[in-house]
Structure 1
């Protein structure tokens, strides 16, 4: 195995103290490899912690839909790190192990849509269209808006957009999963 081009910051990084403390607080005391890479730039780490923290903790969107979109983006972009971190919260939010395995087929003709509700299938399709095509079918957006309302539709679109950013960062900098996913 070759040496990392950009190494992770050390696990015991102490500075900038306020930011390191804020990241650890958001993660329940944990420090993951993503954080250790982000901390090469204080402004990026600060903005990321706030923005992604809001997406992870403060949306009114159903957490199962949020995590479904995150897992879907991970699969579509080949970001195993992202999937590793979002499959457990998907299950905690009401998903099943069978659905987790099904999400690995998102965007493929063999995707088992019968395992998901209509709105979950629409969320999966939105994830696929935004990630692969960028353009989204207007009929799909109308269905989502009619089912979820304006706020939740905007939040779902933002989750997909934000986690496309996350996966691109992870892949470009070769951020790898820790041995055990955080709870």
Structure 2
């Protein structure tokens, strides 16, 4: 394996104390590799922590749908780290192992019929379109708007956009899965 271009900050990093403490509290005491990379820039890490905290914890969009979109983005962008972190949350939110296994080939083949609800399939189609071609089919957006309403549609689009940012950060800086 080649040497890391940008090394992780140490696991026992203490400064900036308020930010490191806030991240540790949100993570249950540990800094994960993503945090250790972000902490190279205090302003970036502070903004990321606040923004992603809101996206992860304060949206009205159903948790299962959020995590489905996050997992879809991770697969499409080959961000294994992201998929490893979010697929267990997807399962806890009501997803199944069969759905997780199907997600591993998202964008490469059609999803098995009946495995996802119509809303979930539309959310996956939106994830693919936003991630791969940027532009989104208006009829798909209309269907989603009818099912979700304006607020939750904006949140779904925002989750997909946000996790595209996350995956691009992870892949570019070669953030690897945490070793426990």
TM-score, scaled relative to structure 2: 0.97
Structure 2 match to 1:145: 145
Structure 1 match to 2:47: 47
> C-alpha deviations, 1:68-115, integer Å up to 9, x for none?
000000000000000000000000000011100111121233322420
Out of 64-73 and 20-29, give the one that drifted further: 20-29
Q: Distance in 1 between matches of 2:27 and 2:152?
A: 24
Structure 1 match to 2:95: 95
8 Å CA contact retained: 1:74, 1:83: yes
Structure 2 match to 1:38: 38
Matched, 1:57 2:57: yes
Structure 2 match to 1:111: 111
> C-alpha deviations, 1:17-38, integer Å up to 9, x for none?
0000111111222210000000
Structure 2 match to 1:154: 154
8 Å CA contact retained: 1:130, 1:161: yes
1:59 aligns to what SS in structure 2?
coil
2:94 aligns to what SS in structure 1?
coil
1:179 aligns to what SS in structure 2?
coil
Instruction: Could you tell me which runs of 5 or more consecutive residues in structure 2 were left unpaired when the two chains were aligned.
Output: none
Q: Distance in 2 between matches of 1:97 and 1:109?
A: 18
> C-alpha deviations, 1:23-75, integer Å up to 9, x for none?
11112222100000000000000000001111111111100000000000000
Q: 1:113 and 1:34, CA in 2 relative to 1: closer, same or farther beyond 3 A?
A: farther
> C-alpha deviations, 1:118-169, integer Å up to 9, x for none?
1000000000000001000000000001001111100000000000000000
Q: Distance in 2 between matches of 1:71 and 1:179?
A: 20
The alpha-carbon deviation at position 179 of structure 1 amounts to 2.6
Give matches, 1:165-180, under 5 Å: 165-180=165-180
Q: Distance in 2 between matches of 1:113 and 1:37?
A: 40
Out of 157-166 and 97-106, give the one that drifted further: 97-106
Matched residues, number? 180
Q: 1:113 and 1:135, CA in 2 relative to 1: closer, same or farther beyond 3 A?
A: farther
Structure 2 match to 1:13: 13
